[in-house]
């Protein structure tokens, strides 16, 4: 049976042995058949969530000059501000404005010849403290809790896939090297039908934890037959989804699910705060062969085929390290940044420049 709604999983079940087993069975179903789930009763402080949500409109309301001072084109690490209408998904302009942040590190690209994806590590661009006092500290505290949850969740996913709780740890760097990414997103309201807030795509890593930070709908996911299913905001929950890297290392057992956001109708913008959990940027995914129990593989068999989709992002895991695949994704999404900082990769993916792409409604 194909899904017509995204399942809700109750994280508080994990607190007792019987509940833990129940949660793992529900998670197995969600990973194999859906690729998306809501997580309720999670351990992230509701006060910190409310604070993070309260900063989003204030951040976008900063004077344009303050936002431009932290523009992403300043940063070879793809951190900072992207004004409305500068980001592409599969060659079509997205209708959103955003700030990108990541776990902060010194840049790991030291000299020519070092892997290019080592330039993804680097400092963030933060707004001046006096313009939005407390934001950096409060948002950092929120992110740390989401990161901790994401790592616990990886362990639960490993159990659900029959690998045991440590079955996925080999894909992660030690904590001092891990770089996770996050965005604060604003989708302005738009008239017209099916305006592309962000186009159909997959996420890259093992999992994404998304906070829908306003009441507006717009997020949709594609089920097995290719129909778009709404994922409306449910207060008190996160949306968790599987990315392409987990799908790759599990040979399709866990489903990465194509999703998109349609611009909200009416007057109010939609805000969201995704947290993209990365694995090691140096990981070569083909070097790890995971063995799954036959009874779990039978569930993949029972799922049947997934209809073809127009989302074909992140296809190079068989030849490139994870970080390089990540970098290629960033180049395609942010060609203006790539043109300045990665001219050779830019040239490869945009041999005719990117000026020809235009606004298009999605069908």
Residues that bind ligand AKG (CB under 6 A): 183, 185, 198, 203, 210, 219, 259, 261, 272, 274
C-alpha closest to that of 185 among 276, 90, 256, 73: 276
Which secondary-structure segment (H or E) carries 60? helix 46-60
Burial class for 8, CB neighbours closer than 10 Å (0-12, 13-18, 19+)? middle
Pairing of strands 207-212, 270-277: antiparallel
> Which residues are paired to 145 by β-bridges?
none
CB of 139 to ligand AKG, least distance (A): 17
Q: Which range touches Fe ion (CB under 5 A), out of 10-18, 65-73, 127-135, 197-205? A: 197-205
Of residues 87 and 203, the one with the C-beta less far from Fe ion: 203
Token readout for 76 is: 């070879």
Residue at token pair 């049947």? 304
94 near Fe ion, rule: CB under 5 A: no
The CB-nearest residue to ligand AKG is 272
203 near Fe ion, rule: CB under 5 A: yes
Binding partner of residue 200 among ligand AKG, Fe ion, none, CB cut-off 5 to 8 Å per kind: none
Binding partner of residue 185 among Fe ion, ligand AKG, none, CB cut-off 5 to 8 Å per kind: ligand AKG
DSSP 195-258: BEEEEEE---SSEEEEEE-SS---EEEE-TTS-EEE----TT-EEEEE-HHHHHHTTTSSPP--
Site string for Fe ion, 147-186 (x = CB under 5 A): ----------------------------------------
> Which residues are paired to 271 by β-bridges?
186
Of residues 195 and 198, the one with the C-beta less far from ligand AKG: 198
CB of 263 to ligand AKG, least distance (A): 11
Of residues 259 and 330, the one with the C-beta less far from ligand AKG: 259
CB of 360 to ligand AKG, least distance (A): 18
Are 242 and 259 in contact, with CB atoms under 8 Å apart? no
CB of 185 to ligand AKG, least distance (A): 5
Of residues 167 and 243, the one with the C-beta less far from ligand AKG: 243
100 near Fe ion, rule: CB under 5 A: no
Burial class for 74, CB neighbours closer than 10 Å (0-12, 13-18, 19+)? middle
CB of 210 to Fe ion, least distance (A): 8
Of residues 169 and 315, the one with the C-beta less far from Fe ion: 315
Of residues 37 and 132, the one with the C-beta less far from Fe ion: 37
CB of 313 to ligand AKG, least distance (A): 10
Binding partner of residue 254 among ligand AKG, Fe ion, none, CB cut-off 5 to 8 Å per kind: none
Of residues 162 and 278, the one with the C-beta less far from ligand AKG: 278
Give the Cα separation of 353 and 347 in Å (integer): 8
CB of 276 to ligand AKG, least distance (A): 7
CB of 224 to ligand AKG, least distance (A): 19
Percentage helix, strand, coil, to 5, in the chain? Answer: 35, 20, 45
> Which segments of the chain are extended strands (E)?
8-10, 36-40, 80-82, 88-89, 92-93, 97-102, 181-187, 196-201, 207-212, 219-222, 228-230, 238-242, 259-262, 270-277
Are 196 and 92 in contact, with CB atoms under 8 Å apart? yes
Binding partner of residue 147 among ligand AKG, Fe ion, none, CB cut-off 5 to 8 Å per kind: none
Of residues 210 and 281, the one with the C-beta less far from Fe ion: 210
Contact positions vs Fe ion (CB under 5 A)? 203
């Amino acid at each position: 049976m194909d899904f017509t709604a995204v399942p809700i999983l109750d994280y508080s079940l994990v607190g007792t042995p019987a509940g833990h087993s129940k949660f793992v069975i529900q998670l197995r179903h969600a990973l194999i058949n859906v690729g998306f789930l809501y997580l309720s009763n999670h351990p992230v402080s509701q006060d910190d969530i409310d604070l993070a949500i309260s900063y989003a409109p204030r951040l976008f309301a900063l004077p344009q000059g303050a936002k431009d001072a932290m523009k992403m084109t300043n940063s070879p690490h793809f951190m900072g501000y992207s004004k409305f209408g500068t980001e592409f998904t599969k060659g079509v302009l997205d209708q959103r404005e955003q700030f990108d942040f990541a776990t902060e590190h010194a840049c790991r690209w030291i000299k020519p010849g070092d892997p290019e994806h080592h330039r993804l590590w680097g400092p963030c661009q933060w707004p001046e403290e006096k313009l939005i006092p407390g934001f950096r500290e409060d948002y950092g505290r929120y992110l740390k809790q989401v990161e901790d949850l994401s790592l616990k969740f990886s362990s639960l996913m490993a159990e659900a896939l029959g690998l045991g709780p440590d079955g996925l740890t080999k894909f992660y760097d030690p904590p001092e090297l891990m770089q996770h990414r996050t965005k604060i997103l604003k989708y302005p309201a738009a008239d017209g039908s099916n305006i592309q807030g962000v186009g159909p795509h997959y996420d890259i890593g093992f999992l994404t934890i998304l906070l829908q930070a306003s009441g507006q709908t717009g997020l949709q996911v594609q089920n097995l037959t290719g129909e778009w299913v709404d994922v409306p905001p449910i207060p008190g929950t996160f949306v968790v989804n599987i990315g392409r890297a987990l799908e790759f290392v599990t040979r399709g057992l866990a489903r990465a699910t194509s999703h998109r956001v349609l611009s909200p109708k009416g007057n109010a913008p939609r805000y969201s705060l995704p947290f993209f959990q990365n694995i090691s940027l140096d990981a070569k995914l083909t070097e790890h062969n995971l063995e799954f129990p036959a009874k779990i593989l039978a569930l993949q068999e029972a799922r049947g085929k997934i209809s073809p989709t127009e989302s074909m992002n992140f296809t190079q895991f068989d030849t490139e390290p994870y970080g390089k695949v990540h970098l290629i994704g960033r180049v395609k999404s942010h060609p203006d940044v790539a043109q300045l900082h990665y001219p050779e990769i830019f040239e490869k993916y945009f041999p005719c420049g990117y000026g020809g792409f235009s606004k298009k409604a999605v069908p």
